[in-house]
Amino acid sequence: MTTVIVGLLAACGGQPARQPAPPKTPQRIVSLVPAVTEMLYAIGAGPRMVGASSFDTYPPEVRALPKVGGLIDPDLERIISLRPDLVVISATHAELGVQLRSAGLATFPYALGDLANVTHTIRILGTVTGLDREAASVIAGLESRFEAVRDRVKGRPKVRTLLVFSRQPGSLRGVYVSGGTGFLHDLLELAGGENVFAGVRREAVQATTEAIISAAPDAIVELRTGPAPASGEIERERRSWDALPAVPAVRTGRIFVLVGDELVVPGVRVADTAERIAGVLHPDGFVR
């Protein structure tokens, strides 16, 4: 039985690898993680992809690949039948990882992390696939766009912002916001915002109405995923906030609803998200 774990951590020199890297570069890759799928395409490993998760929609080519389930329902049989030599799984998929490795398949466990983890993961993927140069150029592209955003917001006062990524439509119930960790928090700070819930060291926080009023954000940025909103719906959703007139963002109307599934995917499109957030928080710094 060959049991191989990709030397994920070793590649960055951070922590020792538990097992050696696979002997040759993988040629048949299955990815269960949409963020990693788009990184693989970006570094040119797209042609080696033989399967993707049921939630993968980007890049468009990925829709043509066989679907192998998602985070909660990976289809082990179908994965094995695709004869992959590398399977990208979520780090939370401990059991799946054991099953795949006992089938002799190499796995790449991916853990959700902060913004630095995005470029970090791209770099490791480059090493694993033998596409280091391509990976380096993707990273350089992302970093130069981050730098451009930083330059544009430099010297401008930070905007105290509430970053919302989920709530019950049409009401202010079940409002989930970004806490002080994770790539969304990092993107907000990069884009010249100051996260009003930075003090909560979690990625997702269900904020009470009381906490939102007392946090008194000057801007509210909502990230909206899922089906495209009907006409007028965005405006209706913005008006939901009228229930909290003491919040400065509500009084000044600085409530911005950004639409797109990519907004919550920590993949190669994070620079777009940074630019869009910076664009609404600091509109005069951006001529779009």
Partner 1 sequence: MADVREGTTIRRRLLLTLAVFGALAAAALLLAPLVGSAPIRLRRVFDRSLPFADNPDAQIFFIARLPRVLAGALVGSALAASGVVLQALLRNPLATPFTLGVSAGAALGAMLVITFPVHVALGGLPAVPLASFAGSLGAVAIVYALATARRGGVSTNVLLLAGVTLNAFFSALILFVQYLADYSQTFRAVRWLMGDLDVAGYLPIAAALPLVLAAFAAFAYLPRALNLLALGADLAASRGIDVRRTQRLAFFSASLATGAAVSLGGPIGFIGIVVPHLVRLIVGADHRLVLPASALFGAAFLIACDVGARSLLAPMELPVGILTAMIGGPFFLWLLIRRS
Contact set with partner 1 (CB under 8 A): 55, 70-71, 73, 165-166, 168-174, 176, 197, 200, 202, 205-211, 213-216, 225-227, 230, 233, 236, 243-246, 251, 264
HSE-CB at 185 with a 13 A cutoff on CA atoms is 21
Q: Please give the radius of gyration of the chain, using alpha carbons only, rounded to the nearest integer.
A: 20
- Closest to partner 1 by CB, 142 vs 207, is 207
- Closest to partner 1 by CB, 128 vs 247, is 247
Tell me how far, at minimum, the Cβ of 211 lies from partner 1, in Å.
Answer: 3
Tell me how far, at minimum, the Cβ of 72 lies from partner 1, in Å.
Answer: 8
- Closest to partner 1 by CB, 133 vs 202, is 202
- Closest to partner 1 by CB, 105 vs 263, is 263
State whether residue 223 is helix, strand or coil. Answer: strand
Tell me how far, at minimum, the Cβ of 54 lies from partner 1, in Å.
Answer: 9
CB 39 within 8 A of CB 134: no
Alpha-carbon distance of 237 to 171, in angstroms, equals 8
Alpha-carbon distance of 160 to 145, in angstroms, equals 23
- Closest to partner 1 by CB, 21 vs 213, is 213
Q: What is the CB neighbour count within 10 angstroms for residue 256?
A: 20
- Closest to partner 1 by CB, 141 vs 199, is 199
HSE-CB at 150 with a 13 A cutoff on CA atoms is 9
DSSP annotation of 92 reads T
DSSP annotation of 241 reads G
Residue 32 C-alpha from the chain's centroid: 14
How would you list the strands of the sheet with 107-110, edge to edge? 49-52, 29-31, 86-90, 107-110
Tell me how far, at minimum, the Cβ of 241 lies from partner 1, in Å.
Answer: 10
Tell me how far, at minimum, the Cβ of 158 lies from partner 1, in Å.
Answer: 20
Tell me how far, at minimum, the Cβ of 226 lies from partner 1, in Å.
Answer: 7
Tell me how far, at minimum, the Cβ of 104 lies from partner 1, in Å.
Answer: 30
- Closest to partner 1 by CB, 233 vs 272, is 233
HSE-CB at 208 with a 13 A cutoff on CA atoms is 3
Name residue 277's amino acid: I
Tokens coding 1: 């039985």
